[in-house]
């Protein structure tokens, strides 16, 4: 598969799966204001999904559209990283997952605004305003919950420790990533990873949370289509109607 | 409506003889169309009734997120998913505007939520029905939000300022809700035979509960009469229900769907549709807790609240720590 | 029962307006979260440019009218707008 097409699917799938997970929490947040803020994030991510998958479909040139890509690929063809498939769990897990994702997402979008691919740069320009806000929000909550009560601190530390092994996949560059860097489409990994770790360190320190070692073993495979058991269920739920009623217009 | 059969606590409508000078002045303001604001003098019964009415409305919006939340993860296109998510988010917002309005009357949101979670406070009967297919997203937007709009537009002119202003804000957002529902129904009605059947089935299940939303006939109701005198209820239940039917029948005809009422008939003399008898025993039972989803709806809300205890506490603790540090500096 | 988040009143200056307008209230543990939440709750349709939040208890109000006086003079998410869904001509009341 064309490296750029793969790359676009990765971005779209990350946003889509994470958004889908956040949608599960509709009406179930710990406070009304929080419910609204979280659904804002889910909505933003969905908008970004559509931009990425829309471009991917065009680039592919096989007559597929954003919905065809979203609803008719099985897990083996999904390109999201493992982090976004991790369960919602408690609100601590949800917010820590969000923070880890947002930090990487922010620096990536920032890098992509300078992409040699004009369309990607445009998508990144549009997305970065939202992602800047997402990161400010999730970082703020990590600090508040990390440095809140003993209970919240413990929950956040556990969430961090458990999600940590999913926080490195984004920086394990493969042939697709390298091709994108070579073409000036995507930012190089070292700078990206350093920004990520620096920001994490700053926020986690303020949150009085202990950051695990960046050299820890990182789970991998999502970008290449090797996912966790969860993705199958997520897709089964999401894709049901289109699969059950093939050819129907909605 | 969203707030159904609100109890005023009074056995008869207040007359001039019953009223003190203060209350007469208050009633004169209402009769002159002047808004009552939060710190103005008001009879205790007016205040209590408004708290009940506004909070019931707020609870309905919050619980109302759940039947639709049930399908947001299964929306059949990315666009439909976005629109539905935006609608659900709006409902949270409406709940919030309404709790805000209720709080101006001297009650806290936490108190109101405690009443909801304990089962003491009510919310609209309609949200105790299950959403069984994607077509339900269409039917709910079209019929339920459609009915809500009919009730809410007059409330924009109600006597209590904060409530009227909240209603104006809500109404601006509500017409998007009804339209997106009808848009879904149109896609389905004009789609495959299975989709059309899905749409008809949803209409069959949501029609009567939507009519019940307006509450039983209140021609004899003291509560309704008093609320009308106070201008917090502007039309009778029957008038609003009739408006909904008259408005909706042509919309169903356009879709090519059949309203599940064999007695539905245009009455040229009245200039309105005659319609069949409503099964009020179903309504009473749903209000009592015997609807298809009462238990789940309440459990979901209670669980969200209880699971969120640690979160809310932590945020308070952090804010307190920061405030203390600032004071010490 | 845990401590309730304080109540904040929210004022928004819309893009085309000149003065901040009171739009409602919300609960938040502190000022910063109040502003952030206000953005999510009250500006979802690009309705606001400047947000003010004030702790409800800090608002000082003038006294309401004396008892004797009867009458006192009181983007992108474009699908949120009703006009995004064009309705067929024949269909009324939507």
Chain A residues touching residue C5 (CB < 8 angstroms): 31
Judge contact between B139 and B175, C-beta under 8 A: no
CA distance C5 to chain B (A): 7
- What local confidence, expressed as pLDDT, does residue C56 receive? 92
> Between A and B, how many residue pairs show a Cβ–Cβ distance under 8 A?
142
A119 pLDDT higher than 90: yes
- What local confidence, expressed as pLDDT, does residue B288 receive? 87
Q: Which of A33, A126, A136 sits opposite C41 (nearest CB)?
A: A33
The verdict on a CB contact (< 8 Å) between C36 and A140 is yes
Which CATH code fits A3-244? 1.20.1260.10
Low-confidence stretches of chain B (pLDDT < 50) are: none
3-state secondary structure of C53: strand
- What local confidence, expressed as pLDDT, does residue C15 receive? 75
- What local confidence, expressed as pLDDT, does residue C72 receive? 41
Question: Span A28-43, mean pLDDT?
Answer: 94
A60 pLDDT higher than 90: yes
The verdict on a CB contact (< 8 Å) between A47 and C77 is yes
C68 pLDDT higher than 70: no
Chain C residues touching residue A33 (CB < 8 angstroms): 26-28, 33, 37, 40-41
Which range is least confidently modeled, A16-20, A115-119, C9-13?
C9-13
- What local confidence, expressed as pLDDT, does residue B94 receive? 95
Q: Which of C37, C76, C77 sits opposite A33 (nearest CB)?
A: C37
- For chain A, give every domain's residue range: 3-244
Chain B residues touching residue A20 (CB < 8 angstroms): 73
C7-13 and B272-274 strand pairing: unpaired
CA distance A146 to chain B (A): 9
A194 pLDDT higher than 60: yes
- What local confidence, expressed as pLDDT, does residue B16 receive? 86
The band of A1, judged by pLDDT with boundaries at 50, 70 and 90, is low
The pLDDT mean for chain A works out to: 97
CA distance B295 to chain A (A): 15
What is the interface pTM, i.e. ipTM, of the complex? 0.96
* pLDDT tens by residue, C70-91: 444 335 566 776 677 888 888 8
The verdict on a CB contact (< 8 Å) between A145 and B304 is no
Q: Which residues of B41-65 are buried (b: 16+ CB within 10 A; e: fewer)?
A: ebbeebebbbbbbbbbbbbbbbbbb
pTM: 0.93
* pLDDT tens by residue, C42-61: 887 565 578 999 999 999 88
Nearest CA in chain B to A46: B82
The verdict on a CB contact (< 8 Å) between C27 and A33 is yes
Instruction: Check CB contact of B300 with chain A, cutoff 8 Å.
Output: yes
- What local confidence, expressed as pLDDT, does residue C71 receive? 42
Q: Which chains form contacts with chain B, at 3 or more CB pairs under 8 Å?
A: A, C
The verdict on a CB contact (< 8 Å) between A27 and B318 is no
| Tokens matching residue B258 | 């059949």
The pLDDT mean for chain C works out to: 79
- What local confidence, expressed as pLDDT, does residue B221 receive? 86
- What local confidence, expressed as pLDDT, does residue B260 receive? 98
């Amino acid at each position: 598969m064309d490296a750029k097409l793969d790359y676009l699917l990765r971005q779209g799938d990350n946003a889509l799966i994470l958004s889908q997970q956040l949608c599960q929490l509709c009406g179930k947040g710990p406070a009304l204001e929080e419910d609204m803020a979280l659904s804002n994030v889910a909505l933003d991510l969905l908008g970004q999904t559509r931009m990425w998958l829309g471009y991917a479909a065009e680039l592919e040139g096989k007559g597929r559209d954003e919905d065809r890509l979203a609803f008719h690929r099985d897990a083996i063809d999904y390109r999201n990283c493992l982090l976004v498939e991790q369960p919602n769990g408690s609100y601590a897990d949800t917010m820590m997952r969000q923070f880890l994702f947002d930090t990487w997402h922010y620096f990536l979008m920032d890098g992509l605004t300078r992409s040699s691919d004009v369309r990607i740069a445009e998508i990144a320009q549009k997305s970065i305003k939202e992602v800047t806000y997402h990161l400010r929000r999730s970082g703020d909550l990590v600090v508040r919950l990390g440095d809140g009560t003993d209970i919240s601190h413990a929950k956040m530390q556990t969430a961090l420790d458990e999600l940590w092994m999913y926080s490195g996949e984004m920086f394990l560059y493969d042939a697709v990533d390298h091709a994108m860097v070579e073409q000036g489409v995507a930012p190089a990994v070292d700078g990206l990873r350093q920004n990520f770790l620096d920001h994490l360190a700053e926020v986690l320190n303020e949150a009085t949370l202990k950051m695990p070692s960046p050299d820890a073993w990182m789970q991998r495979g999502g970008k290449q289509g090797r996912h966790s058991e969860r993705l199958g269920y997520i897709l089964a739920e999401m894709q049901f109607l289109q699969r059950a009623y093939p050819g129907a217009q909605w | 409506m969203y707030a159904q059969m609100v109890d005023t606590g009074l056995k008869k409508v207040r007359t001039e003889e019953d009223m003190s000078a203060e209350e007469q002045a208050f009633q004169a303001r209402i009769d002159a169309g002047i808004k009552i604001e939060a710190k103005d003098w008001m009879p205790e019964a007016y205040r209590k009734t408004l708290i009940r009415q506004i909070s019931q409305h707020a609870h309905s919006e919050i619980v109302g997120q759940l039947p639709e939340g049930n399908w947001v993860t299964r929306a059949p296109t990315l666009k439909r998913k976005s629109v539905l998510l935006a609608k659900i988010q709006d409902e949270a917002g409406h709940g919030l505007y309404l709790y805000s309005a209720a709080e101006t009357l001297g009650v806290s949101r936490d108190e109101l939520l405690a009443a909801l979670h304990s089962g003491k406070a009510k919310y609209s009967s309609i949200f105790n029905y299950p959403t069984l297919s994607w077509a339900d997203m269409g039917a709910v937007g079209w019929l339920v939000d459609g009915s809500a709009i009919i009730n809410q537009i007059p409330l924009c002119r109600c006597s209590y300022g904060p409530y009227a202003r909240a209603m104006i804000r809500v109404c601006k957002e509500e017409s998007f809700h009804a339209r997106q529902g009808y848009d879904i129904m149109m896609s389905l009605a004009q789609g495959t035979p299975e989709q059309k059947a899905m749409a008809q089935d949803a209409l069959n299940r949501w029609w009567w509960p939507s009519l019940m939303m307006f509450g039983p006939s209140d021609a004899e109701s003291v509560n309704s009469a008093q609320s009308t005198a106070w201008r917090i209820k502007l039309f009778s239940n029957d008038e609003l229900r009739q408006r909904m039917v008259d408005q909706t029948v042509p919309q169903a005809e356009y879709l090519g769907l059949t309203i599940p009422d064999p007695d539905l008939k245009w009455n040229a003399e009245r200039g309105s549709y005659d319609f069949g008898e409503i099964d009020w025993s179903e309504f009473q039972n749903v209000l009592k807790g015997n609807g298809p989803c009462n238990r789940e709806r309440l459990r979901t809300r209670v669980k969200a609240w209880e699971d969120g205890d640690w979160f809310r506490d932590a945020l308070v603790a952090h804010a307190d720590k920061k405030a203390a540090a600032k004071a010490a500096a | 029962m845990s401590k309730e988040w304080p109540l904040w009143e929210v004022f928004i200056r819309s893009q085309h307006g000149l003065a901040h307008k009171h739009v409602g209230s919300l609960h938040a543990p502190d000022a910063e979260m109040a502003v952030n939440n206000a953005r999510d709750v009250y500006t979802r349709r690009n309705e606001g440019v400047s947000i003010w939040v004030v702790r409800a208890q800090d608002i000082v109000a003038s006294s309401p009218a004396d008892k004797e006086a009867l009458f006192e003079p009181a983007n992108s998410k474009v699908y949120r707008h009703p006009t995004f869904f064009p309705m067929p001509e024949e269909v009324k009341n939507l």
